[in-house]
Amino acid sequence: MSEVKRKKSISRRAFVAAAGGAALASGMAGFPSIVRAQRGPVRVGILHPVTGPLAFSGNQARAGAMMAIETINEIGGIRSMGGAKLEPVLGDAQSKPDVGAAEVERMNEAGVSAIVGPFASGIALATTQAAAKHNIAHIVDVGVVDQVVTRGLANTFRFGPGLSKIVDTAIENLVAINDGAGKPARTVMIVHEESAFGTGMSKVLNEKLPGRGFQIIETISHANPTRDFNNIVLKIRAQRPDIVIPSNYYDEFVLFSRTMAQQKVRPKAIYAILGGAASSQRFVKEFPDAAQYIMDCNHWYDPRNPVAQELRKKVEAKGLYFTYELFLNHECVRLLAEALERAGTGDRAAVIQALASSGFANHFMPYGPTRFVNGQNQGAAPVNTQVQNREIQLIFPKEFASAKPVFPMPAA
Amino acid sequence: MVELQILLPAILNGLTTGAVYALIALGLTLIYGVLHIINFAHGSLLMLAMYAVFFLHAGLGIDPYLALPVVVPGFFALGYLLQRGVIARASHGRDENILLVTLGVSIVIENLARYFWRSDTRTIETPYSFETVDLGVAFIAVPKVVAFAGALLVTLALWWVMSRTDLGRAIRALAKERQGARLVGIDVDHIFAMSFGIGTACVAAAACLLLPSFYVSPGVGHTFVLIAFTVVVLGGMGSFAGALIGGLIIGVTESLCGLYLGESLGQIGIFLIFIAILLFRPTGLLGHRA
Amino acid sequence: MRRQLLAIVAFLAAMALVPHLVDSEFWRNWVMMALFYALLGQAWNILGGYGGQFSFGHAAFFGTGAYCSAILHVHYGVNPWIALPAAGMAAGLVGAFIGFLSFRYGLRGSYFALVTLAFAEVLRILANTVPITGKGVGLLIPLEPGAANMQFADRTGYFYLILAFVGLALLLTLWLEHSRFGARLVAVRENEDAARALGVDVFRTKLAAITLSGALAGLGGSYYAQLFLYLDPGIAYGPAISVEALLVPIVGGMGTLFGPLLGSFALHGVSELAKLAFGEAPGLDLALYGVLLVLMVMFMPNGLFGMGRTTLARLLGGRRDA
C-alpha cells in the first residue's frame, strides 16, 4: 500500500508547501485564488480516520480506495479526459470531526475534484458540510446515519445503504428466514453498542419487530469499550431468547461471541446487524468455533462477481482482510471514475451533476444500477451473510446467495 | 429483580475482572506513590507489553504465561531507561512538565504502534482460551482464574520487595521524604528509575495474564487506564494491598451496576465511587496522606 | 498594563485582517481552529495557570456549553445567540458545582485533577443515557445558514466570532492580572496556607476561578456546536478536549497573558509540521508530534512565553551591559 502511495499521490510536502506558498504569494498580495490546472491528473480526496479509535476501519477504507485508483490508472485513466490519471490526495480525520473538516479545506486547496470518505457518520456530517461550501462532490463510503444525506446538501452522495434501510432489510430477511424454517423463533434480545449506529438500530428494531411477530425480551446497551461481557451473557442465558441480535464494533463483538461460547449459551440464532463477526474474515479465521453459524446483515459484495473475486485475492495477497470498508471504498472510487468519464472534466459542478445522474451498474455490490435520489443510492441494500465452516457465505437475498441459511443453529 | 442465579455469577465475574484491574493498577500505584506523578504513559506501556506477548506467541509460539520471564525483565529495563533517560531529563522535576512528558511519550508509543503494526485488533487463541471452570453457580474462563491468582502473587511479590529488601526500604523512604532520603545517601535518580521500572514490569505481567482473555490494538491502553487510576485512588496511592482490594471492589461494582443500571449507565457507578472516595477519603482505603 | 492592552489590541487588529489578507481558506481555517483551542486554553489558564488548580476535565465545561446551546436551539427553538450566554452560564454552574464539592473537601494537586476527570466521565455517561442529548445517536443542529442563526455560510463570520471570544478572554485575563481577585488567586497558587493567613478566602477565590474558567470553556463549546452542527457524547465530553485545553497553556506558558495563544499556535504549527514530514503514513506524524512535544518541554520548561521573556531579557540585558 505504501508503495502505491509513494508513486501515485502527490507528496503532501509538495502540496502544503505549494498551498502555503500560494497563500503567501497570491493571498497576501490580494491575487484571486489559485486557478486549478486544466490539464493533467484529476485529484481525488481520500479522507478517512487512519489514526485514533477508528483507525482500523479508516486504514482498510484507504486501502480500498487506493487499490481502485491504482487499477483505474493502470487500465488507462479517464478516457474521456485523454487518459487523465486519478491522483489521490490523502487525508487523516484522526477520528475527530473538526480534523476531518480541516482536511476538507486542505483538499480544497489541493484542487480536488471530489472527496471519498470518511467512514464514520459523525465525521461525515462535518466533512460533507465543509465540502458543500466549496461545491466539492463528497461520496460518503459508509456513514450510515440517515441524516448524512437528508440535510439537503447537493454535493453529498451515499453509495451504500443508510441505517433505516439496513434495519428494514434486516427485519424482512429475519422474518423470511424464520418463516422458511417453520417459525421456530419468537423471542429476541438485542445487545448493542451505545453510539450512533447501535442506538439508532435498536430504536427502529423496538418499533418494528413486535409488529412482525417477535417479542423483544430485553434491549441491552453497552459502552465502548466494554471489558467484560459475562453479565450480558448471563442475562441472555437466564432469559433464553430464541434469537440474539448484537450490533457492535469489532473489539466488543469478539469479546461478546467468545463469552457466549465460554458460557455455552446457544440461542437458535445469533443474528447480527452491522455486527463484527460474519463480515470479518479475521474473526472467522481466529475463532472459527465461536464464529460458526453467526448471521449478519451488513454491507457485502456480490460473491459471484469475478471483479470482486479477483480483488479479494489481490487484497489477501497483500496480507489485508477483505472487509466492507475496503470494498465499499473501492467501489465508491469506481463510481466516481464512471462519473468523471461522463463529465469529461474534473470541474466540480460537472462532477456533481454527473454523479447525480449516475447509472453506474458495473459495480460488484449486490445493488443493481446506481440511482441517486437526494444523494442516496436507491438500489443500495445490505445482505445477509452467515459463517459456515470457516467461510462467510451470502445467504440472502436469494438472487445473490452462495449458500442456504442454516437455521436454527444445530446443537453443538 | 435480578435473581440469585445471575447475582452470584455476576459477583464472581466482577472479582475476576477486578483482579485484572488490580494487576494493571499495581504498577501505577507504585509509580504514583513514589514519584507522585500521574503517569499518562501507563496505558500505552500496557499496550506495548501486550504486543510483545502477542508477537512472542505469533512468531515463536511462546505461550503467554511462559512469556512472563522474558517480558517482565524486558519491561523493567524499558521502564528504568524511560524514567532515567526521558522523563526525568525532560521534565526538570516539575509536575506539570512530567505530565506533558508522559503524555508525549504515550502519544509516541501509541502512534508508532499504529504505524508499525497497523490498527488491527489482534487476538490469540490458546488451548485454554475457551476452557472454563465450572463453579456450580457459574462458568469462569480459565484465563480469568489464572489472572486472579496472578494478581494475588504479584501483590505478594511486590509486598515482599517493598518490606524485605534494601531496595524496597529505599523506595519507601523516598516516597515519604525526598530530601531526607537524599541526605542519608540514597541515589534518588536511581531509585526513581527503579520504581518506574518495577511499575512497568508489573504492567508487563498484567499484559501476559490479560492477553489470553482479551485483545490487543494500539488503542487498548485507553480501555484500562482510567479504571486503573480509579483503583489506585480507591486503594490509596502507593498501597499494594489497597490496589488489590480496590481492583476487586471496582470489578464487583462495575458488574453489579451493569446488572442493575444497564451496561451503559452502569459505568457511572465506578466514577461515582471514585468521586466519593476522593471527596470523603482522599487517602483511599489503605493509603497514608502524602 | 497599558503595554499589555496595546499588545492585545495590536494582536486583535492583526488577526482581524487575516480573512482579508490570507486568501487560502485552509490557512484561514487553520488560524480559526488555533484561536478556538487558544480560547479553551485561556479558560484552563485562569484556573490552572493563575490559580494553580490543574484540571483534567475541562471537557465537562466545554461539553455542557455545547449541549446547552444545542439543546436549547434544537428542542426549544431558542435562537443560538440567546442560547450562547445560557451555555456560558450553564458551564459556569457546572464549574461552580465541581468546585464547590472538591474545594469544600480540600482537594489539591493530582486529587483535584482526577476528580475533574471523573466528573467529565460522569457527564459523558449521562449524555449517553438521557434522552435529551439524543443519547449515543447525538444531536444534529439543522442546517439553516444565516447570521441570525449563528451559522455563517461564508466562514468569515465564524472567524470574527472566535476572535471576539479570544479578545474577551484576553481582556478578562488582563483584568485578572491587575485586579485584587487575581492577586488573591495567585496568592492561593503560591501558598494556600499563607494566603489564608493573610485573610484571603481561599475557598471562594478558587470557586470564582473555576466558575469563570468553566463559563469561558462553555462559550467555546457553544461555538463548536454552531460550527460543526453535530454533537455526540464522545465529542462533547471525551478526553480529547480536556487534553488540548491543558496542553495549550502549559506549552505556551502557564499563568501568562499570551501563553495560551502562543501555545495553541505553536502546537498547531508543530502538528502541521509533522504532517508535512510524514502526513501519509498513518500515525507517524502523530508520533513525531509527541516527540516534538517532549522536546519542547525539555528545552522550554517555562513554556514558550517564559522562554521568550527570558531570551528577551537576556538580549536586552546584554545590550545594556555593552
C 19-58 residues inside an 8 A Cβ radius of B: 54
Q: Which amino acid is at A245?
A: I
> Among candidates A208, A209, A264, which has minimal Cα distance to A236?
A264
Number of compact structural domains in chain B: 1
Percent pLDDT > 70 in chain A is 90
Q: Are A158 and A149 in contact (CB under 8 A)?
A: yes
Give the CATH number, domain containing residue B172.
1.10.3470
Q: Rounded to 5 degrees, what angle do the CA atoms C317, C320, C322 make?
A: 110
Domain that holds residue C242: 2-256
Q: How big is the A-C interface in CB pairs under 8 Å?
A: 130
Name the grid cell of A192.
Answer: 448493542
Identify from C292, C298, C302, C307 which residue to disrupt to test chain B contact, counting B C-beta atoms within 10 A and taking the largest count.
Answer: C298
Q: Are C253 and C259 in contact (CB under 8 A)?
A: yes
Q: How far apart are CA B203 and CA B76, in angstroms?
A: 9
- The alpha-carbon gap from A279 to the nearest alpha carbon of chain B, in Å, equals 15
> Among candidates C138, C157, C148, which has minimal Cα distance to C82?
C148
- A154: helix, strand or coil: coil
Rg (CA), chain A: 22
Going residue by residue through chain B (290 aa), what tens digit of pLDDT does each one get?
Answer: 457 778 898 999 999 999 999 999 999 999 988 888 888 999 999 999 999 999 999 999 999 999 999 999 999 999 999 999 999 999 887 877 888 899 999 999 999 999 999 888 899 888 888 888 888 778 889 999 999 999 999 999 999 999 999 999 999 888 888 888 888 888 999 999 999 999 999 999 999 999 998 999 999 999 898 899 999 988 988 889 999 999 999 999 999 999 888 888 988 999 999 899 888 888 888 776 44
Residue B264 sits at φ, ψ, to 5 deg, of -80, -60
In a domain, C215, yes or no: yes
pLDDT of C321: 39
Name the grid cell of A383.
Answer: 445482505
pLDDT of A195: 86
| pLDDT value at C154 more than 90 | no
DSSP line for B101-168: HHHHHHHHHHHHHHHHH-S--B----TTTT-EEE-SS-EEEHHHHHHHHHHHHHHHHHHHHHHHSHHH
- The alpha-carbon gap from C6 to the nearest alpha carbon of chain A, in Å, equals 25
- Name every chain C residue with its beta carbon within 8 A of the beta carbon of A9: 280
Cβ contact, residue pair B262, A225, below 8 Å: no
In a domain, B289, yes or no: no
Q: What is the largest CA-CA distance in chain C?
A: 70
In a domain, B116, yes or no: yes
C36-54 burial string, b = 16+ CB within 10 Å, else e? Answer: bbbbbbbbbbbbbbbbbbb
Q: How far apart are CA C4 and CA C170, in angstroms?
A: 10
Alpha-carbon distances of B253 from A54, A152, B125, B152, B246, rounded to whole Å: 29, 47, 29, 19, 10
In a domain, C265, yes or no: no
Q: How far apart are CA B16 and CA C76, in angstroms?
A: 47
pTM: 0.91
In a domain, C301, yes or no: no
pLDDT of C279: 75
In a domain, B132, yes or no: yes
Q: How far apart are CA C260 and CA C255, in angstroms?
A: 9
Task: Give per-residue pLDDT as tens, C44-60.
Answer: 999 999 999 999 999 99
In a domain, B101, yes or no: yes
The domain locations on chain A are 2-160+304-377, 164-298+383-400
At the fourth CATH level, the homologous superfamily of domain A2-160+304-377 is Response regulator (3.40.50.2300)
Q: Are A87 and A10 in contact (CB under 8 A)?
A: yes
A18, exposed or middle or buried, with CB in 10 Å at 0-12, 13-18, 19+? middle
In a domain, C293, yes or no: no
Domain that holds residue B187: 4-280
| pLDDT value at A4 more than 60 | no
Q: How far apart are CA B138 and CA B131, in angstroms?
A: 13
Q: Which residue has the cell 503567501?
A: A24
Q: Is C287 on the interface with B (CB under 8 A)?
A: yes
Same fold, A2-160+304-377 and A164-298+383-400: yes
Q: How far apart are CA A308 and CA A300, in angstroms?
A: 11
Q: How far apart are CA C308 and CA C299, in angstroms?
A: 12
Q: Are C258 and C42 in contact (CB under 8 A)?
A: no
Those residues with Cβ within 8 angstroms of residue A384's Cβ, 6 or more apart along the chain or in another chain:
A170, A173, A177, A295, A296, A297, A394, A395, A396, A397, A405
Q: Quote the distance between the C-alpha of residue C166 and its chain's center.
A: 9
Percent pLDDT > 90 in chain A is 75
Chain B residue with the nearest C-alpha to that of C286:
B111
Q: Are A375 and A153 in contact (CB under 8 A)?
A: yes
3-state SS string for A278-304: HHCHHHHHHCHHHHCCCEEEECCCCCC
Cβ contact, residue pair C254, B96, below 8 Å: yes
Alpha-carbon distances of B64 from A257, B47, B214, rounded to whole Å: 22, 14, 12
pLDDT of A5: 39
The mean of the pLDDT values for chain A is: 88
Average pLDDT of the residues in C176-197: 95
Cβ contact, residue pair B278, C114, below 8 Å: yes
In a domain, C147, yes or no: yes
| pLDDT value at A13 more than 60 | no
In a domain, B290, yes or no: no
The mean of the pLDDT values for chain C is: 92
Rg (CA), chain C: 20
Strand-pair partners of A376: A158, A373
Identify from C31, C152, C280 which residue to disrupt to test chain A contact, counting A C-beta atoms within 10 A and taking the largest count.
Answer: C280
pLDDT of C316: 64
- Name every chain C residue with its beta carbon within 8 A of the beta carbon of B229: 114, 117
pLDDT of A278: 64
Return the partners of chain B (3 or more C-beta pairs < 8 Å). Answer: A, C
In a domain, C176, yes or no: yes
Return the partners of chain A (3 or more C-beta pairs < 8 Å). Answer: B, C
Name the grid cell of C313.
Answer: 531579557
Q: How far apart are CA B226 and CA A248, in angstroms?
A: 22
Q: Quote the distance between the C-alpha of residue B209 and its chain's center.
A: 11
Q: Which of A52, A221, A263 faces B264 most closely, judged by CB atoms? A: A221
pLDDT of B47: 97
Residue C321 CA neighbour count, 13 Å, CB half: 6
Q: Which amino acid is at A254?
A: V
Q: Which of C111, C126, C128 faces B278 most closely, judged by CB atoms? A: C111
- Among A136-145, C54-63, C131-140, where is mean pLDDT lowest? C131-140
Give the CATH number, domain containing residue C195.
1.10.3470
- A183: helix, strand or coil: coil
In a domain, C248, yes or no: yes
> Among candidates A386, B86, A106, which has minimal Cα distance to C294?
B86
pLDDT of B186: 87
Number of compact structural domains in chain C: 1
In a domain, C320, yes or no: no
- The alpha-carbon gap from A117 to the nearest alpha carbon of chain B, in Å, equals 18
Name the grid cell of A396.
Answer: 440472502
Q: Which residue has the cell 465564524?
A: C158
Pick the CATH number of A164-298+383-400 from 1.10.8.50, 3.40.50.300, 3.40.50.2300, 2.40.10.120: 3.40.50.2300
Name the grid cell of A153.
Answer: 446538501
Interface ipTM: 0.90
Q: Are strands A114-117 and A376-377 parallel, antiparallel or unpaired?
A: unpaired
Strand-pair partners of A92: A48
Q: Is A150 on the interface with B (CB under 8 A)?
A: no
Q: Are C233 and C133 in contact (CB under 8 A)?
A: yes
